[in-house]
Structure 1
Amino acid sequence: MLDPIIAFFERVFHAIGRGIGWVVAVLAWPFVALGRWYRRRGWMVRLPVLVLLAALVVGYGHFLFVAERWTGWDPDYPASYAFAERPASPGEPVTGDSGQCASSAIVEVTHDLIDFNVNVNTWVPSHPLSKAGLFGLDWKYTPFLDNKAAFQLGINQVVRRTTVELVDRLGRVRGTSQINQNLQDARQATSYDEDAWWLTFTPPFIQPSTPERQRQAMRALAGFNAELAACQGDFDARADNLLQFLDRISGDIGSTSDILRAQMEASDLGWFDPRADDRFWFTYGQLYAYYGILQATQSDFREVYDDRRIVSVWDRANRQLRSALDMTPAIVSNGNEASWIMPSHLATMGFYLLRVRSNLVEMRDILDR
C-alpha cells in the first residue's frame, strides 16, 4: 500500500534535486569557463586579471560595508534639540542677550539631516558599484543592498522640499524682499543629481559629487542661521506661511502614499517582491526626516501654534509619526492585505502616512479659517 506513495515522493525529490543541480550548473558555468580560459593564459594576461579581480573584491567589500552599516540612526533624535527651551522665534532678539537673536530650528534640523546622510553615513546612491547594479540590473530591482540608499533618498526628498520652502517663503518677508543668497545656494546644492560621482563618462569627465554638493548646502544653511543669530536675517513666521508649508508637506506625503498603493496593486508576491523594500524604506526615510522637521516647525512657529490652538492636533500627528518609525521589519513583505503568512508592510506604512496627512490637513484647515 505504501510503496506507490514512497515511490512518488522519491520521484518528486529526485526531480527537485535535478532542478537545483541544473540551476547551480547554469549559474556556475560562466565562472567555470572563465577558470578554464584563465589557466590557459600566461602571466602577462593572468596578472592584470588578478589585479582586476582583487579590485572587484575590495570594491564590493567596501560597498557591502557602507550599504549595510547604518550609523547614527535614532528615531527619537528630535528630543536632542530641546525645542521647548528655545528662547525666541527665529530672528527675534533673545531676552537678556544684547545683540543676539534666535536661529531657526527648521534650518538646523535640515542641516543635521544632510550631515547624517553624507558625513555620519556614506552616501550610497552615488557609490559607483551602487550605480553599476548587480550585473547591470539596478539594485532597486533586487532584494539586496538597496534599503539604506532608499532610506537616504527619502530623507533627501524632505531636505529638498524644505530648502525650496525656505527660499520661496520662510526666509523672506511677505515674499517681496530679496531672496537670501545662502538659502538660494542651499536649494541649488540640494537639487543636484542624487547619484553623481566625481568621475563621469561625459565631458568634462570630472564633476562635483553628490556628497560634495550636499556639504555646500550644509555650509549655506549654517550661514543663514548665523545671519539670524546676528539679527541680520529674515524669517517670516506668519500663519499663511505655515499654512503653505504644511500644505506642501501634505502633498509630498500624499504623493508617496500613491506610490505605495501603486506597488501594492502591481504585486502581491509577499517576501519575494524586489521593489517592496526600497518603496518601504524611502517612505520610512521621508517620515524619519519629517518627524524632526515638523517638531522644528512647531518651535519656529510657536506663536502661531499657540494662537490658533493647533497644538493638540499636532501632538496626534507627532505620535503617529513616532509610531510609524517603530516599523523596522527584517524582511519587507508586500503580500495580499488579507494574508496572514505574508503581511503587507506597505499597507501598514500607507495607513500611517494617511493618518499623518489627515492631521496635517486638519491643521491647514484651522489655519485657513
Structure 2
Amino acid sequence: MLDPIVAFFQRFFAAIGRGIGHLISWLAWPFIAAGNWYRQRDWIIKGPIAIVLIGLVGLYGYFIWQTQSWHNFNIDYVNAYNFAARKNDAGLPVKVAAGEAAPANKCERSAIVDVTADLIDFNVNQNAWVSSMILYKLGLFGMDWDDTPWLDNKASFQRGINQAIRRTSVELVDTLGRVRGTSGVNNELQSARGNIQFDEETWYFGFSPFGPKTPTPSFYRAAMRDLHKFNDALAACNATFDARSDNLVQFLDRIANDLGNTSAIIRERSEFHNGGWFDTRADDRFWFAFGQLYGYYGILSAAGADFDAVITQRGLTQIWAETVKQLRAALNIQPLIISNGREDGWIMPTHLATMGFYILRVRSNLVEMRDILTR
C-alpha cells in the first residue's frame, strides 16, 4: 500500500533535483561560455583581462571584508566616558576642590560634542564608510544592495548613526552653541553642520555633475575636526554652550520627532510587508533603527552630563536614567537574520515590531521629560 506513496515522493524530490540542476546550469552558463572564449585567446588579450579579473577579485574581497567586519563595535561604549563622575554643566568654569585655586580660562567641554565627534570617527575612520564605496553603489548586477539580503546591514547601521549625528549638529548650531538664539552662529559648528549634511553616497567620481569629486568620508572627517575645534574653544572659555532648560526641551523634542519618523517607517514595513525571513528590506529598516538608537544612546548619555543642573533641579534624574537604560536595552537585540513576521505569527519572529516597541518606549519618555520641563 505504501509503494505508490513512496514512488510519488521519489518522483517529487527527483523533479526538485532536476529543477535545481537546471537552475545551476543556467546560472553557470555565462561563466562557462566566457571561460571557453578566454582559453581560445592569445596572451596579448588574456593578460589584460587576467589583470582586470584579479583586481576585481581583490576589490570584491576588500568590499566584503569591510561590510562584514564592524571594527570597535561596542554597545557599552558609553561606559568609557564615565559621565557619572562629571557634575559640571558644559561651558561652565571647571570646578576644583575646596582650597584649590581655579585654573584661569578653563571651562567644561561639551560631552554631546565629544560623543558626536567620536561617532563620526567610528563611522569613517575606525570603519570604512560603506554607502559611498564604488561596489556598494554598483549593486548586485545593477540591483541595489538594499534590495538584497546581503552586504547592506553595516551601511544601514552607519546611516542610522549618521541620522543621530545630523540631528544633533543642527541643534548645536541653532540653540545649544549660542546664547538664547540671538548671538552669532558659531563658525565651527556651522561648518560641522554643513559638512555632516553632505550626501551619504559620493565616491571619487560621479556623473551628475560629471567629473572627480571629494568623497563623502572626507566631508564627515572635516565635520569631526570642526567639532573638536569648537570643544577646544569651549574648554578655553572662548565659545558658548547654553545649557538652559528651554534648549533641552527643544533638543528632546527634535530627537523625539526623529525617532517618531523611524517608528512610522518600521510600522509601515511591519504591517504591509511582513514576509518573515524573506523580506529583503526588513534588515535595512532594522539596522538603520539600531544605528540611530546606538547614536542616541551616547548622545543622550552625554546630554545628561551637559545638562546635569537642569535635570537635577527639575526632578528628571530617575526618568532620564530609565530612558538611557531603555536605549541600552534595545541594543541587546542583534539577531543573526532579521525576520519581519506577522505580530500574531508563531513560526517566523517579528524583529521589526520588537525594535519599534523599544523606539516607542524611548520616545514616550522623551515626550514626558519635555512636558515636565515646559510646566
Checking the alignment, whether the CA contact within 8 Å between 2:87 and 2:308 is kept in structure 1 is no
Report the equivalent of 1:76: 76
Q: Name which of 357, 361, 364 aligns with 1:351.
A: 357
Report the equivalent of 1:328: 334
Residue deviations 1:141-191 (CA, integer Å, cap 9, x gap): 111000111100000000000000000010010111000000001001101
Checking the alignment, whether the CA contact within 8 Å between 2:87 and 2:305 is kept in structure 1 is no
SS at match of 1:281: helix
Cα distance in 2, alignment partners of residues 237 and 319 from structure 1: 23
Q: Name which of 285, 297, 303 aligns with 1:297.
A: 303
Residue deviations 1:317-352 (CA, integer Å, cap 9, x gap): 112111100001011101111222210000000000
Checking the alignment, whether the CA contact within 8 Å between 1:87 and 1:94 is kept in structure 2 is no
Q: Number of paired residues? A: 369
Cα distance in 1, alignment partners of residues 339 and 320 from structure 2: 30
SS at match of 2:242: coil
Report the equivalent of 1:12: 12
SS at match of 2:125: helix
Amino acid across the alignment from 2:270: M
Amino acid across the alignment from 1:205: G
Q: Deviation of residue 36 (structure 1)? A: 2.3
Residue deviations 1:90-140 (CA, integer Å, cap 9, x gap): 221112222211110000000000000011111111111111111111111
Report the equivalent of 1:153: 159
Matches within 5 A, 1:33-44: 33-44=33-44
Q: Deviation of residue 204 (structure 1)? A: 5.8
Give TM-score, length-normalised by structure 1. Answer: 0.98
Residue deviations 1:214-269 (CA, integer Å, cap 9, x gap): 11001100000011111110111111110010000000000000111111123222
User: Is 1:54 matched up with 2:54?
Assistant: yes
Q: Name which of 300, 316, 321 aligns with 1:310.
A: 316
Report the equivalent of 1:211: 217
Ranges in structure 2 where 5+ consecutive residues have no aligned partner: 96-101
Q: Deviation of residue 212 (structure 1)? A: 0.8
Amino acid across the alignment from 2:68: E
Checking the alignment, whether the CA contact within 8 Å between 1:260 and 1:347 is kept in structure 2 is yes
Checking the alignment, whether the CA contact within 8 Å between 2:177 and 2:242 is kept in structure 1 is yes
Matches within 5 A, 1:174-213: 174-203=180-209, 205-213=211-219
Report the equivalent of 2:258: 252
Deviates more, 1:308-317 or 1:103-112: 308-317
Deviates more, 1:91-100 or 1:239-248: 91-100
Checking the alignment, whether the CA contact within 8 Å between 2:132 and 2:216 is kept in structure 1 is yes
Q: Deviation of residue 87 (structure 1)? A: 5.2
Report the equivalent of 1:233: 239
SS at match of 1:200: strand
Amino acid across the alignment from 2:197: S
Give TM-score, length-normalised by structure 2. Answer: 0.96
Matches within 5 A, 1:264-303: 264-303=270-309
Q: Deviation of residue 271 (structure 1)? A: 1.1
Deviates more, 1:222-231 or 1:78-87: 78-87
Amino acid across the alignment from 2:228: A
Deviates more, 1:42-51 or 1:126-135: 42-51
Amino acid across the alignment from 1:88: N
SS at match of 2:206: coil
Work out the percentage of aligned pairs sharing the same amino acid.
57
Q: Deviation of residue 86 (structure 1)? A: 2.4
User: Is 1:102 matched up with 2:108?
Assistant: yes
